[in-house]
Amino acid sequence: MDFNQCACSGKNLARLVRPAVLALLTRGETHGYDLMQQLCGLAIYADAPPDTSGVYKVLKTMEQEGLVSSSWEPGGSGPAKRRYVLTRDGRECLRRWIETLEGYRSQINGLLAILRPDGKSSPSIG
Amino acid sequence: MDFNQCACSGKNLARLVRPAVLALLTRGETHGYDLMQQLCGLAIYADAPPDTSGVYKVLKTMEQEGLVSSSWEPGGSGPAKRRYVLTRDGRECLRRWIETLEGYRSQINGLLAILRPDGKSSPSIG
DNA sequence: GCTAAATAACGGAGGAGGTCCAATAGTGGA
DNA sequence: TCCACTATTGGACCTCCTCCGTTATTTAGC
């Protein structure tokens, strides 16, 4: 069995692209490509950058959900940029994400407590 | 927009059923239905128990992956029970899960650091 | 005896979300 | 002219998860 292909390798922490994007948008409105760059700069995605197409799809979905709104950025050089802004709902969503992430953290702590009760070594593993 | 249907509500922390099941199996070998009961007893799944069918499917998948092995429990009353045991690979997988979960936790901490830099209030939300 | 509920396991359809690959398009430099 | 970088998007595909239903055995209640 190839553990590097297993979920235990930590390849997929699903859906955290969403809060990450929302978080970055609080720094200031910007466009998808720049968001990608910023995401790659985060320690979270240091060794495994999120899929480009995926990020754009997340942005599109979030716009349909009303969490962000976009408009083509006028002027400027290079290809047209779609500029994203957090909406009121997006900020509310982000507020909930904070609680949710804290919930995740405590859930993970709960699991780890089962896995290593003494806080050091693994249980029942010789 | 219904935030209760949004990922920000924390309904889905994907794939943590796997480490949870592996963790429970370190407590002792048992069968799917009992694992379900134990999962429901965990704080993680207190308000949203994992799907029954889903748990059986995870078990089946993990058996195909060689993380657990099963056999029909002989004797005993009631419907036939499929008894699951952790394999050597399962224990190795669990060991990796510990590191992965710790990684997840630090990633979440990293995101939370962006979301609430001062550690108290939300950023740019007024 | 019959029915309901609890125990126990599983299958199929469908959807959400993610990845891989590819296409399109403008701009600037060699 | 060709290439690299910037910027966005589409389609095929896959995986996982959920929802719903089915089968079967045992026990409890009427």
Q: What is the pLDDT of residue A82?
A: 96
Q: What is the structure's pLDDT at B101?
A: 84
Task: Give, in Å, how far the C1' of D9 lies from the CA of B63.
Answer: 40
For the stretch B75-85, pLDDT in tens is 778 899 999 99
- DSSP class of A5: G
The answer to whether A79 CB is within 7 Å of strand C is yes
Determine the pLDDT at residue A126. Answer: 27
The CA distance from A4 to the nearest CA of chain B, in Å, is: 10
Provide mean pLDDT across the span B76-100: 89
**Residue B27 tokens, joined:** 């407590």
Q: Does pLDDT of B57 surpass 90? A: yes
The answer to whether B67 contacts A1, with C-beta atoms less than 8 Å apart, is yes
How far apart CA A60 and CA A69 sit, in angstroms, is 9
What pLDDT shows up at residue A9? 56
pLDDT over threshold 60, residue B10 = no
Interface touch A6/B93, C-beta < 8 Å: yes
Query: Beta carbon of A34 within 7 Å of strand D?
Result: yes
Q: How many CB atoms lie within 10 A of CB B59?
A: 22
Cβ distance B99 to A43 less than 8 Å, yes or no, reads no
Architecture of domain A10-115: Orthogonal Bundle (1.10)
Mean pLDDT by 10 residues, chain A (126 residues): 57 73 92 94 84 94 92 86 94 87 86 72 38
SS3 B24: helix
Q: Which nucleotide is nearest to B77 (CA to C1')?
A: D26
Question: What pLDDT does residue A115 have?
Answer: 81
Q: Give the three-class secondary structure for A23.
A: helix
Taking CA–CA distances from B116, the nearest residue in chain A reads: A98
What is the overall mean pLDDT for chain B?
82
